């Protein structure tokens, strides 16, 4: 069969997978602008409301490694579609119940489905694209996810206010179901493997048979001159129990300095933005700075735009300057630290220009964290990628969860734990809990960067 010179299928597979990711982000942030509506619907106070994103984030982070392991076993498509179905069920429950305990169960389902999405999409990319395209396509994936974040703020609030709570959330579930069906018809784990629908009926169509990756034939592993390092060669022998296999895989991965470097890059860059967007941004801007909620909402949208713009720039930059990509990440982290420190230590109320600078610089950490997955790809054999991606993606979300908790704790310790008691000084002290996380992350990046360089030289490897 003739093969198209520039096959479209990789872009169609990626576009559909990215649409599933955008819907996952809409589901993830669907309560962000609906706080008062949720309080009304379930009759709950602000503290109970705040547990919703916490539970969701906890489930998301806790499932990253198990989901990664499953991706390596059952494939990215099955996990992506399974995750989407979980979110459809979760949002349907959210639409139809009035009991807060069932609403929490709904958020657990949404968090679990969300946990399956991003790393599955990341696992598909190296199967369909050339190595040099991967940074750009990864950043575009993040950017499409950010578009989902934009939808989940004002448009979703408007939709729910017009259609009502039940119809609003059923609408989200219906959109989820539509993209799941589309995914079952379009997404393939790799060229030559059937869609979910084809595998169900046991027939492979012409499009699948003719499918080609944009990377041509890509051997496993992404490091040039790849005599496999002996510690990565599976030892043949009696099959080991699953738990033992898991730990030995984890140990073998963590022995690679490049994997540890990826972990710390992801740990250090995105948590400030996550903490701000997921929970503490609005309370800080309204209760600490004294903005009205509409102005705070506008500023929060600025963070999404800044992150989308950075995604467009960082993809080509990290693809072009592959040897310096970790320094690019570190530069962004240092800019975030400096901007946050200026806000924390500013005498009196920080001026508007400084707040705008914070809301433009801080979200750069999201796209910068995608560099972690580039580093990871350069150091992980393809058969471990799901597991390794889950492991690295845990880093930023664990840091986010810890910082969210610590900020709440420090506010409580100062007697400023509820909206009527919030004050700028209490928020300054509370946000300072981020500083040790940045210090730890930066020190570990510097250490692992040196070790990775030495490892590459000793093994005669060159990045690509």
Binding site for ligand LKAUPR5Q (CB under 6 A): 118, 142, 145-146, 270, 307, 311, 366-367, 369-370, 393, 396
**Whole-number minimum distance, CB 83 to ligand LKAUPR5Q, in Å?**
10
Distance CA 198, CA 188 (A): 10
**Nearer to ligand LKAUPR5Q (CB atom), residue 183 or residue 366:** 366
**Whole-number minimum distance, CB 298 to ligand LKAUPR5Q, in Å?**
19
**Nearer to ligand LKAUPR5Q (CB atom), residue 361 or residue 411:** 361
Closest-by-Cβ residue to ligand LKAUPR5Q is 142
**Nearer to ligand LKAUPR5Q (CB atom), residue 370 or residue 430:** 370
Q: Check residue 227 and report its DSSP letter.
A: P
**Whole-number minimum distance, CB 459 to ligand LKAUPR5Q, in Å?**
28
Q: Check residue 276 and report its DSSP letter.
A: I
Burial category of 111 from C-beta neighbours within 10 Å (exposed 0-12, middle 13-18, buried 19 and up): buried
Distance CA 308, CA 320 (A): 19
**Whole-number minimum distance, CB 387 to ligand LKAUPR5Q, in Å?**
16
**Nearer to ligand LKAUPR5Q (CB atom), residue 372 or residue 430:** 372
**Whole-number minimum distance, CB 79 to ligand LKAUPR5Q, in Å?**
13
Cα-based distances in Å from 359 to 298, 300, 340, 380, 422: 11, 7, 10, 34, 20
**Whole-number minimum distance, CB 407 to ligand LKAUPR5Q, in Å?**
20
**Nearer to ligand LKAUPR5Q (CB atom), residue 63 or residue 78:** 63
Distance CA 136, CA 311 (A): 8
Relative orientation angle of helices 434-458 and 257-268, to the nearest 10 degrees: 160
For 415, other C-beta atoms within 10 Å of its C-beta total: 10
Label residue 6 left, alpha or beta by phi (over 0 means left) and psi (-120 to 50 means alpha): beta
Cα-based distances in Å from 354 to 303, 327, 340, 462: 14, 25, 9, 41
70 near 246, Cβ under 8 Å?
no
**Nearer to ligand LKAUPR5Q (CB atom), residue 287 or residue 311:** 311
């Amino acid at each position: 069969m003739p093969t198209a010179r520039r096959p479209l299928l990789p872009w169609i597979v990626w576009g559909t997978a990215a649409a599933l990711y955008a819907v996952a982000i809409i589901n993830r942030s669907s309560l962000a602008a609906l706080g008062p509506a949720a309080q009304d619907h379930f009759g709950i106070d602000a503290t109970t409301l705040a547990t919703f994103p916490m539970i969701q984030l906890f489930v998301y982070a806790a499932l990253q490694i198990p989901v990664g392991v499953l991706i390596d076993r059952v494939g990215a498509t099955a996990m992506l579609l399974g995750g989407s179905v979980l979110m459809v069920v979760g949002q349907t429950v959210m639409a139809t119940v009035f009991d807060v305990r069932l609403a929490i169960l709904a958020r657990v389902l949404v968090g679990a489905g969300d946990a399956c999405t991003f790393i599955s999409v990341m696992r598909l990319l190296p199967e369909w694209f050339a190595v040099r395209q991967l940074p750009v396509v990864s950043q575009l994936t993040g950017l499409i996810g950010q578009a989902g974040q934009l939808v989940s703020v004002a448009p979703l609030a408007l939709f729910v206010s017009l259609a009502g709570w039940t119809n609003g959330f059923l609408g989200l579930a219906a959109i989820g179901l539509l993209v799941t069906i589309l995914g079952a018809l379009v997404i393939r784990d790799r060229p030559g493997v059937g869609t979910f629908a084809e595998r169900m009926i046991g027939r492979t169509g012409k499009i699948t048979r003719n499918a080609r990756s944009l990377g041509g034939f890509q051997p496993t592993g992404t490091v040039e001159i790849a005599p496999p390092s002996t510690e990565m060669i599976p030892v043949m022998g009696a099959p080991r129990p699953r738990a033992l296999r898991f730990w030995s895989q984890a140990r073998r991965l963590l022995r690679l300095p490049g994997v540890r470097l990826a972990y710390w890059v992801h740990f250090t860059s995105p948590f400030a933005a996550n903490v701000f967007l997921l929970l503490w941004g609005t309370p800080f801007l309204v209760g600490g700075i004294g903005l009205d909620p509409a102005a705070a909402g506008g500023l929060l949208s600025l963070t999404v735009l800044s992150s989308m713009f950075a995604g467009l720039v960082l993809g080509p930059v990290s693809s072009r300057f592959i040897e310096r990509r970790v320094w690019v990440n570190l530069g962004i982290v240092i800019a975030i630290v400096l901007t946050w420190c200026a806000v924390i230590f500013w005498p009196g109320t920080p001026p508007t220009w400084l707040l705008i600078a914070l809301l433009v610089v801080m979200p750069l950490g999201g796209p910068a964290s995608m560099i972690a997955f580039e580093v990871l790809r350069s150091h992980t054999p393809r058969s471990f990628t799901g597991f390794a991606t889950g492991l690295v993606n845990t880093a930023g979300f664990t840091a986010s969860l810890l910082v969210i908790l610590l900020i709440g704790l420090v506010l409580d310790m100062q007697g400023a734990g509820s909206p009527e008691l919030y004050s700028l000084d209490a928020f300054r002290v509370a946000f300072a809990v981020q500083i040790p996380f940045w210090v730890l992350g930066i020190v570990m990046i510097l250490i692992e960067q040196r070790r990775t360089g030495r490892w590459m030289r000793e093994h005669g490897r060159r990045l690509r």
